[in-house]
């Protein structure tokens, strides 16, 4: 069985939760706790000052983190990472990892489908249409004309 102070402190914690969830405002929660303390006999058993102290403990602001908490956190992370630990240990920084080489570009080659299309347009026998088609394929025109001359 709980003693009266522990029991009332638990009730105060519940009211704090209601406030944190936005279900009641802090004034309503404290009024409810004062009414509970009077009606349930906590004021008689513990005294008004102790009830007020328990209520104020329940609604006290959360413990703040140290002002340099972010710096300490970054330091812990960097010490745990071998790439960054040198910043805190005084060691020399590690050598940079070699970057992968980009593959060499392959020279452009006219696709087989374009060659087939060229042969079709050429087989139509219309020089104007063939000239227009070649203007629309400027990257392929030199290679296609070379194959035409070779044939």
Verify that 8 and 46 share a domain, yes or no: yes
| 106 lies in some domain | no
Instruction: Give the tens place of pLDDT for each residue, 85-118.
Output: 888 888 888 888 888 888 888 888 889 999 999 9
pLDDT of residue 66: 67
Q: Any alpha helices (H) in the chain, and if so which ranges?
A: 4-21, 26-39, 42-46, 48-58, 69-80, 86-89, 112-124, 127-135, 141-150
Retrieve residue 94's tokens. Answer: 């590690």
The domain containing residue 122 runs over which residues? 112-150
Retrieve residue 102's tokens. Answer: 């980009």
| 125 lies in some domain | yes
- Residues 25, 63, 29, CA angle at the centre, nearest 5°? 15
- Residues 56, 61, 63, CA angle at the centre, nearest 5°? 120
3-state DSSP assignment of residue 63: coil
| 128 lies in some domain | yes
- The total domain count for the chain is 3
Retrieve residue 101's tokens. Answer: 């080489």
Q: Tell me the pLDDT band of 68, cut-offs 50, 70 and 90.
A: confident
| 100 lies in some domain | no
Instruction: Give the tens place of pLDDT for each residue, 5-39.
Output: 999 999 999 999 999 999 999 999 999 999 999 99
CA 49 and chain centroid, separation: 48
Tell the residue number behind the tokens 């812990």, with chain if given: 76
């Amino acid at each position: 069985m709980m003693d009266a102070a522990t029991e009332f402190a638990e009730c105060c914690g519940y009211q704090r939760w209601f406030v944190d969830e936005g279900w009641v405002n802090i004034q309503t929660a404290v009024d409810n706790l004062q009414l509970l303390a009077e009606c349930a006999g906590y004021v008689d058993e513990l005294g008004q000052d102790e009830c007020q102290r328990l209520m104020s403990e329940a609604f006290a602001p959360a413990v703040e983190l140290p002002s340099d908490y972010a710096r300490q956190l970054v330091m812990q992370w960097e010490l745990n990472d071998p790439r960054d630990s040198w910043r805190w240990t005084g060691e020399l920084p590690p050598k940079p990892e070699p970057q992968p080489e980009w593959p060499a570009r392959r020279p452009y080659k006219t696709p087989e489908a374009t060659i087939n299309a060229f042969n079709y347009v050429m087989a139509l026998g219309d020089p104007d249409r063939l000239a227009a088609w070649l203007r629309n394929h400027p990257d392929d025109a030199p290679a296609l004309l070379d194959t035409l001359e070779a044939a």
